Amino acid sequence: MATGPVYECIATNTLSSDQASISFTSISQAYTDLVVRMIHRSSTASNVTIRTQINSITSGYTSTYIGSTSGVFSGRHSSNSYFEMSNTPNNTLNFASTSMDFMGYTDTNKWKTVLCKYGSIDLESTVYLGLCQTTEAISSLTFTTSGSGFNSGTSVQLYGIKAA
C-alpha cells in the first residue's frame, strides 16, 4: 500500500496573456499515470480544437470520440501528428473544462493511451479515447490549438498518480 499522497500536483501553468502553446517538459518518471486538468478557451473569436503531442512524436496518433450537443455525434481521427482531442470555446464564451488521463505513461513495452473528457456550457460534452503508437515513456506534453492559441486565464495542471 502506498504511503503519503497518491495524487500529486507536478506542475501548474496559468496564462497571464494569450499564448500559442503550453508545454510540460522533463516530466518525472516517478508515477504510474499522469492526469492533466485544463480550464481553457481560445485566444480568438473562433472555436478551435486542442491538439496534444507526446515528446517530439509526429505520427501514429488516433482517437475515437462520442459526444453530444443538441444531438449525439461520434467519429474518429487517425494517422494524425498529434492527438486531436477536446474543443476550446472562443474568447467571447465561458471557459471549458478538459481532463486527460495518460495510463502507464512510463511503460516502455506498450503503446500510450489517453482518456479525455471535455465539457463546455457553450458547446458540447465529449469523451475521447486516444492511442499513440509509441513505446517511449512520456517525458513531455505540448498542447496547441487548431487556431492561434489559448486565451489569458487558461490554466493547466499536471498530476502524477502513484500506484496504490
Q: What is the pLDDT of residues 73-104, one digit of tens each?
A: 899 988 789 888 777 777 778 888 999 999 99
pLDDT at 130: 93
Kindly state whether residue 85 falls inside one of the protein's structural domains. yes
pLDDT at 4: 64
* 7: pLDDT strictly greater than 60: yes
Kindly state whether residue 34 falls inside one of the protein's structural domains. yes
DSSP one-letter code for 30: S
Kindly state whether residue 114 falls inside one of the protein's structural domains. yes
Kindly state whether residue 2 falls inside one of the protein's structural domains. no
Angstrom distance (rounded) from CA 42 to CA 36: 18
Kindly state whether residue 19 falls inside one of the protein's structural domains. yes
Kindly state whether residue 121 falls inside one of the protein's structural domains. yes
Q: What is the pLDDT of residues 18-61, one digit of tens each?
A: 999 999 999 999 999 999 999 998 888 887 888 899 999 999 99
- The residues, any chain, with a CB within 8 Å of residue 70's CB and separated by 6 or more, are none
Distances (CA, A) of 73 to 13, 17, 42, 83, 130: 32, 34, 22, 18, 17
pLDDT bracket for residue 5 (50, 70, 90): low
* 164: pLDDT strictly greater than 80: no
pTM of the model: 0.90
CATH number at residue 148: 2.60.120
pLDDT at 3: 66
Number of domains in the chain: 1
* 117: pLDDT strictly greater than 80: yes
Residue 101 belongs to what domain range?
7-161
- Report whether 124 contacts 69 (CB < 8 A): yes
Conformation bin of residue 81: beta by default, left when phi > 0, alpha when psi is -120 to 50: alpha
